[in-house]
A and B are shown apart, each in its own frame.
Chain A
């Protein structure tokens, strides 16, 4: 009986964590963007910094934001920025595009990434 209770509690806890990770919050993602991305990226259309504007980035093909001078690595990558690809890139940019010039070691927290992606999804 005790064993079943522990298993049930663990299962419930896992379910809670799983749901929390999926409950992406765009508002929280805005804070993540400000803290993590805004030094190099703007969310305004056509406003490029050392990185391209991230307005409308979700679903966009890599290296296609007009007016930004991309590295050869990203121009040749031909990646479509689906949420899954963006999540992979933000986790470890150089793992997906080894020669990218983006100086960012990655965002390890899954919840932060989910929130950020939810926020970027709203910017289009």
Chain B
């Protein structure tokens, strides 16, 4: 037996984290809007950061803060695939700026999509307002506070309304304190990150939070099994990590995560049935090089955690995740950009509490290759493979995406305010949650509109 979990936005909301063999859980009765005080807690958190940024006369969005257009930091002129410049901006604590005051400290994002699956879905597993197929939805509307708060302190904080769940929740948070110093006569970037999701702070698009696909449909079926480090603690924990980028070569990070209390999670609309017992250590090391028109990295990361249900006592189930990752990016003069990102994660599970004496393992492999032309037209192909000691963990297949990003360049209309990506994404399964027969019925096509202001 292996721990399974949902792998969609619902993870952040009030859905149970352990749902066996349940491709859709969007209409589960455990999710519902809570009292208005909960909304005020989220709003207060966002405003608290916003007030801090306003006082520092810093900028709302990173683009307006730096005066740079999206293509400086993002491949294809749209997030979240980072260029080496974007990596340094993130590790630098989101504080680089053009030193001009008076920029709005807010940004917003909207994702709308139309999802078609090869076979109609079981409507009893979908939200009551959804159809068995061809669902059109405003999937997410997010508000962001991002940028320099005070001198070396910067933040990236996201609150998200789900048009599927029809409720809001605190999403990704990454608050950083960073500075450049000299170590042995060589420049070093050092910092601290306080964040709520392991790998949300990672600078490479190889680790779980920021790897391809950058947008996916909540209506499309997907693998139910994933390592704990792959969004398994998203929003449920608060962690602090210290990191350094030594020169143009070594990135190292270490820290730990601890569960938020059940009361706080409820107020933030973050669903969790389990909690981390004690603290969960996290570590990351990478060798990375930026050589102007090309960059690469190779590294390792890992986390170990004991989890158990709220209210339960005992040793908990131990999950130990170890990952290897690497990327290569050819940027050249930015007309033709090629990226290859890959990661492999091995998870060892010791289910001391839920099924004593059972040891299990899970392996997850991802490889994606993208090509972007003129910072406007993108093609991405991804292969994924999940396997484990439990046969039902097996899922593998392909995701292909073509997209068009008309804005986000220096010469673009209304830069940097207007940012749009239109795309078509196709996901094909050879195996899904241990099943191969009839699995092609779960193949899906999603057309999407992704807008940010």
Chain B contacts for A35, CB-based, 8 A: 292-293, 331-334
Say whether A47 contacts B333, CB under 8 Å: no
Return chain A residues, CB-CB under 8 Å to B247.
105
User: Residue A42 at the B interface, CB < 8 A?
Assistant: yes
In this complex, the interface size class of chain B, counting residues with CB under 8 Å from chain A, is 20 to 34
- Please give me the residue from chain B that is nearest to A35 by CB atom: B293
Is A85 interfacial (CB-CB < 8 Å)? no
Q: Which of B91-99, B167-175, B213-221 contacts A (4 or more CB under 8 A)?
A: B91-99
From residue A90, how far is it (CB to closest CB) to chain B in Å?
12
Chain A residues with CB under 8 A of B83: 39
Check if A81 is an interface residue, CB within 8 A of chain B. Answer: no
Contact indicator B98/A48 (Cβ below 8 Å):
yes
**In chain A, what residue has the closest Cβ to B86?**
A39
Q: Which residues of B contact A31 (CB under 8 A)?
A: 332-333
CA distance A108 to B302 in the complex (A): 36
CB neighbours of A50 from chain B (8 A): 66-68, 96-98
Mark A29-61 against chain B: 1 for CB-CB distance below 8 A, else 0.
011101110111010100111100000000000
What separation, in Å, do the CA atoms of A42 and B99 have in the docked complex? 16
Interface members, chain B 96-134 (any A CB < 8 Å): 96-100
- Please name all residues of chain B whose beta carbon is closer than 8 Å to the beta carbon of A79 when the two chains form the complex: none
Tell me, yes or no, whether A89 is within 8 Å of chain B by CB: no
Judging by beta carbons under 8 Å apart, are B332 and A40 in contact? no
A-B contact count (CB 8 A): 55
Instruction: Return the chain A residue nearest B99 by Cβ.
Output: A69
Known A35-B292, A35-B334, A39-B72; contact A69-B100, beta-carbon cutoff 8 A? yes
**Given the contacts A39-B72, A40-B68, A49-B68, A68 and B248 also touching, CB distance less than 8 Å:** no
Q: Are B293 and A49 in contact (CB under 8 A)?
A: no
Chain B proximity of A46: nearest CB distance (Å): 11
Is residue A19 contacting chain B, with contact meaning CB distance below 8 A? no
- Complex formed: what's the CA distance from A31 to B334 in Å? 9
Instruction: Provide the bound-state CA to CA distance between A49 and B117, in Å.
Output: 44
**B430 at interface (Cβ–Cβ under 8 A)?**
no
Interface size for A (C-beta < 8 A) is 21
Please, which residue of chain A has its CB at the minimum distance from the CB of B290?
A105
Q: Is the CB of A40 within 8 A of B72?
A: yes
Identify A49's interface contact among B66, B187, B248, B292, CB under 8 A.
Answer: B66
Q: Nearest Cβ in chain B — how far from A70, in angstroms? A: 8
In this assembly, does B262 line the interface, its C-beta being within 8 Å of a C-beta of chain A?
Answer: no
- Does B34 lie at the interface of the complex (its beta carbon under 8 Å from any beta carbon of A)? no
B98 in contact with A49 (CB, 8 Å): yes
The answer to the question of B152 belonging to the interface, with a C-beta cut-off of 8 Å to chain A, is: no
Write the nearest CB–CB distance from B74 to chain A, whole angstroms.
11
Residue A107, interface by CB 8 Å:
yes
Given contacts A35-B292, A44-B410, contact A49 B332 (CB under 8 A): no
- The chain B residue with its CB closest to the CB of A34 is B333
Give the complex CA separation of A48 and B334 in angstroms: 20
Q: How far is the CA of A34 from the CA of B410 in the complex (A)?
A: 12
Check if B293 sits within 8 Å of A39, measured CB to CB.
no
- Over the window 244-264 of chain B, the binary record of Cβ atoms lying under 8 Å from chain A Cβ atoms (1 yes, 0 no) is 000110000000000000000
Closest to A94 in B: B187
Structural contact, A38 and B98, CB atoms closer than 8 A: no
Instruction: Give CA–CA (A106, B398) in the complex, Å.
Output: 40
Chain B residues positioned under 8 Å from A39 (CB to CB):
68, 72-73, 83, 85
Which B residues between 331 and 371 are near A, CB-CB below 8 angstroms? 331-335
B23 to chain A, nearest CB (A): 42
Q: How far is the CA of A124 from the CA of B180 in the complex (A)?
A: 34
Assuming the contacts A31-B333, A50-B96, asked whether A36 and B66 have C-beta atoms less than 8 A apart, the reply is no
Cα of A118 to Cα of B66 in the assembled complex, Å = 27
Q: Separation in Å of the B250 CB from the closest CB of chain A?
A: 14
B67 and A49 form a contact (CB under 8 A): yes
Q: Which of B180, B292, B332 has the most CB of A within 10 A?
A: B292
List 15 contacting pairs A-B, 8 Å CB cutoff, sorted by A.
A31-B333, A34-B333, A34-B335, A35-B331, A35-B333, A35-B334, A36-B292, A39-B68, A39-B83, A40-B85, A48-B67, A49-B66, A50-B97, A50-B98, A103-B92
Known pairs A31-B332, A94-B187; list 11 more (Cβ under 8 Å).
A34-B334, A34-B335, A35-B331, A35-B332, A38-B334, A38-B410, A49-B68, A50-B66, A68-B98, A69-B100, A105-B248
3 A-B pairs with the lowest CB-CB distances in the bound complex, closest first: A69-B99, A31-B333, A39-B72
